[in-house]
Amino acid sequence: MPQKNTVAEVLASTTDSLKQVSDNHGLEAELILAHTLKVSRSKLLTKLGDTLTLSQNKKVSKLLSQRLKNAPLAYLLGSAWFYRREFKVSQAVLIPRPETEGLVELALNWAKNKAKRPLKTLEAGTGSGCIALTLAAENKNLQVLALDISASALQIARKNKEILIPANKHITFIKKDLFNFKPQKKFDLIISNPPYIPTNSYLKLEKSVKDFEPRIALDGGMDGLRYYRKLFELVKTNLESGGFACFELDAENYLKVKELAEQNFAVSAEIKILPDLAGRNRYLTISFA
């Protein structure tokens, strides 16, 4: 691979190669170079005439070849942005998705209109901790209990807490199987982006997702409803009156979740399906008077 190449040359050749696997080839190439040179993207653009060292060249080649095998860039760089914060990620956790920011926004909007008092919050399936940590960071009234079945995911979530909001006392992570979770207390807010892809669709997912992201974070069982059934039970037994629940949905499967919610809550609560920024039906909210 390259001998004495300038940043501009490596950027151009990396961008070109990435066209095979990414629609964001330019951005991804910049991120790879910025990561390798340990500078921000804007700083990178002031260094276009610099020459890469041998080890920097090798590092770019290695990242590029992994990316060309469909490894998601966030795993290669070890981080992903979510709601203006940079979260550590590894293959133990789902890469935070932009549409999940919309779910967080719904919860924050609900909480904003509540009287100032502690709001007991449950996040089921926390992964990197992106939802739980954002809620705790953005609204000091939210006291968040975040659970996950995966010990390695929780390690990442706890690391993110230490990096992003070390002094915040309003968040607790616990290792728990949702299906054996019988909390003694009630919550004001229940939120989850659960595994929701029906097994058959999961098996057909694109390689960059299926071969790299944890199946346990994605596969929602045969009909994609396995987790919602349990979450709705929790809403019934453990949501305070006046409480709010919100869940992310598979836009392909939202009608089935809506029907299930209506079977459970049509009489007692207001049920809404809401779109993400791309206009796809992405969120379910259940509000109790």
Ligand X SMILES: C[S@@+](CC[C@H](N)C(=O)[O-])C[C@H]1O[C@@H](n2cnc3c(N)ncnc32)[C@H](O)[C@@H]1O
Q: Which residues bind ligand X (CB under 6 A)?
A: 93-94, 96, 100, 125-128, 130-131, 147-150, 153, 177-179, 193-195, 216-217
Query: Least distance from C-beta 106 to ligand X, angstroms?
Result: 13
Pick between residue 10 and residue 147 the one whose CB is nearest to ligand X.
147
Tokens of 153: 């995911």
- Spatial separation of the C-alpha atoms in residues 237 and 250, rounded to whole Å: 25
Q: For residues 81 and 268, which CB has a smaller minimum distance to ligand X in the complex?
A: 81
- C-beta closer to ligand X: residue 11 or 77: 77
Nearest approach, Cβ of 228 to ligand X (angstroms)? 12
Q: Which of residues 74 and 239 has its CB atom nearest to ligand X in the complex?
A: 74
Q: Which residues contact 185 (CB under 8 A, 6 or more apart)?
A: 120, 238
Minimal distance in Å, beta carbon 289 to ligand X?
28
8 A C-beta contact, residue 92 and residue 215: no
Residues 233, 169: Cα–Cα separation, whole Å: 28
**DSSP label at 50?**
P
DSSP state of 83: T
Comparing CB distances to ligand X, the nearer of 160 and 264 is 160
CA neighbours closer than 13 Å in the CB half-sphere of residue 276: 20
Residue where the block lists tokens 């953005």: 138
